[in-house]
Amino acid sequence: MAEVKAELVGNLWKIVTEVGQRVEEDDTIMILESMKMEIPITSPINGTITEIRVAEGDVVQEGQTVAVVE
């Protein structure tokens, strides 16, 4: 299991995966918007998304767990 964490503060612009979806390492799970830039949040491992802990439009903090991949 791996917790997916935000690397910086930003607005969650778009979630591009869903719970139950299989992902590969470095696949984009969601996209943050910060300082007018789009920053992808990627999966740290191959696995299945078991939890998404944020919603589109949320403000996320640096180090916040945004998803779980098992």
Q: What is the pLDDT of residues 48-65, one digit of tens each?
A: 999 999 999 999 999 999
Enumerate the H helices of 1-70 as residue ranges.
Answer: none
pLDDT at res. 5: 97
Report the number of distinct structural domains present in the chain: 1
Could you give the CA distance from residue 48 to residue 43 in angstroms, rounded to a whole number? 10
In a 13 Å sphere around the CA of 24, the CA atoms on its Cβ side amount to 0
CA 38 to chain centre: 13
CATH number (domain holding residue 53): 2.40.50.100
CA 33 to chain centre: 12
Show the domain range for 7. 2-69
User: Tens of pLDDT along 24-55?
Assistant: 999 999 999 998 999 999 999 999 999 999 99
* Prediction pTM value: 0.92
> Would you say 23 and 49 are in contact if contact means Cβ atoms under 8 Å apart?
yes
List the beta bridge partners of residue 30: 15, 41
